[in-house]
């Protein structure tokens, strides 16, 4: 399984992430914060499914541009998966003819501009080469993390979350677990803000990882607030987690693989 963090800044710095998009095996996108600002026709032809963890802007900002590119290249639109609340938010708050044209209504049954399907917590979704199981996590709106399985690897993606329970229960139940992609948004000095926003600090990040009792996977840290990144990275390093990597957008993370993050 190959995972890539899609760039979301204009200066080329692979460490900086303003928006969230993770591409798995070139065909499945998790969140569309930035993918629509950087994907080309060849890449779009391979992306057939997009999972939207929740409707916050940094996870959906490029979705309109992304779908517009499918129209421009005359490609069939990908299937967009989300919880019932997330799909409703996309329709009412984004594709509402105020922020963006209503793609739900502008298409036709033969040529839809948008295709949606509900992702139900704990119900596995079989895809080409992957199986994706949504898992509820703790955020300020309904949000899903994911268990992602292929024939050769198992990876879990937390999406945005504060301290949570079900995610780690599912992790501990797996026969194998190659990697966990876990958010950490604020430094420890902003714990009050992190609590209010339902995000993790490095200290809370360490406590979450400690809930994993059955495996010793690679841990990829993501969602670091750019202006606070150096402090967050230092505090993550102080945790002394041997398999911790702070994810970059110029690396392919291959699982299983002993060499993590090759350019």
Pick the residue with more confidence: 260 or 62?
A: 62
Instruction: Give the domain CATH number at 71.
Output: 3.60.15.10
With tokens 């309904």, the residue in question is: 142
Give the tokens for residue 84. Answer: 């019932």
263 found inside a domain: no
Nearest to 257 by CA among 152, 129, 149, 150: 152
> Tens digits of per-residue pLDDT, 117-146?
999 999 999 998 999 999 999 999 999 999
> Tens digits of per-residue pLDDT, 57-75?
999 999 999 999 999 999 9
259 found inside a domain: no
The alpha carbon dihedral of 205, 206, 208, 214 has a sign of positive
Exposed/middle/buried for residue 85 (C-beta within 10 Å: 0-12, 13-18, 19+)? middle
Query: Looking at residue 45, what is its pLDDT?
Result: 86
Tell how far CA 106 is from the center of its chain. 28
Tell how far CA 111 is from the center of its chain. 28
pLDDT at 155 over 50: yes
pLDDT at 212 over 80: yes
Nearest to 104 by CA among 133, 143, 64: 64
User: For 132, phi and psi rounded to 5 degrees?
Assistant: -115, 125
181 found inside a domain: yes
3 state DSSP class of 232: helix
3 state DSSP class of 227: helix
261 found inside a domain: no
Neighbours of 211 (CB within 10 A): 14
Domain with 143, as residue range(s), is 2-254
> Tens digits of per-residue pLDDT, 70-111?
999 999 999 999 999 999 999 999 999 999 999 999 988 888
Instruction: Determine the Cα–Cα distance for residues 222 and 21; give it in Å rounded to an integer.
Output: 10
83 found inside a domain: yes
Total domains in the fold of the chain = 1
pLDDT at 261 over 60: no
pLDDT at 228 over 70: yes
The three-point CA angle 80-81-84 to 5° equals 120
pLDDT at 263 over 60: no
Radius of gyration of the chain (CA): 18
Q: Write down the pTM of the prediction.
A: 0.95
The β-bridge partners of 175 are none
Q: Kindly report the average pLDDT of the chain as a whole number.
A: 94
pLDDT at 262 over 50: no
pLDDT at 217 over 70: yes
Is residue 130 a contact partner of residue 149, using CB atoms and an 8 Å limit?
yes
pLDDT at 259 over 80: no
260 found inside a domain: no
Average pLDDT on 25-52 reads 91
262 found inside a domain: no
């Amino acid at each position: 399984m190959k995972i890539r963090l899609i760039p979301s800044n204009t200066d080329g710095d692979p460490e900086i992430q303003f928006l969230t998009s993770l591409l798995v095996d070139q065909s499945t996108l998790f969140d569309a914060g930035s993918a629509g600002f950087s994907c080309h026709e060849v890449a779009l032809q391979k992306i057939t499914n997009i999972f939207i963890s929740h409707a916050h802007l940094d996870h959906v900002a490029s979705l309109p541009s992304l779908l517009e590119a499918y129209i421009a290249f005359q490609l069939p639109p990908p299937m967009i998966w989300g919880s019932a609340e997330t799909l409703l938010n996309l329709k009412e708050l984004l594709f509402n003819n105020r922020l963006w044209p209503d793609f739900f209504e502008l298409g036709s049954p033969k040529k839809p501009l948008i295709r949606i399907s509900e992702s139900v917590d704990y119900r596995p979704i079989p895809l080409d080469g992957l199986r994706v199981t949504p898992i509820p996590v703790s955020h300020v709106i309904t949000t899903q993390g994911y268990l992602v399985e292929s024939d050769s690897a198992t990876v879990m993606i937390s999406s945005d979350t504060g301290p949570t329970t079900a995610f780690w229960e599912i992790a501990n139940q797996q026969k194998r677990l190659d990697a966990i992609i876990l958010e950490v948004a604020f430094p420890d000095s902003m714990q009050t803000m992190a609590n209010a926003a339902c995000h993790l600090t490095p200290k809370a990040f360490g406590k979450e990882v400690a809930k994993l009792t059955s495996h010793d996977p690679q841990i990829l840290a993501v969602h670091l607030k750019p202006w606070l990144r150096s402090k967050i990275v230092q505090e993550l390093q102080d945790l002394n987690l041997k398999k911790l990597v702070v994810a970059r957008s110029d690396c392919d993370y291959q699982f299983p693989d002993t060499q993590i993050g090759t350019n």
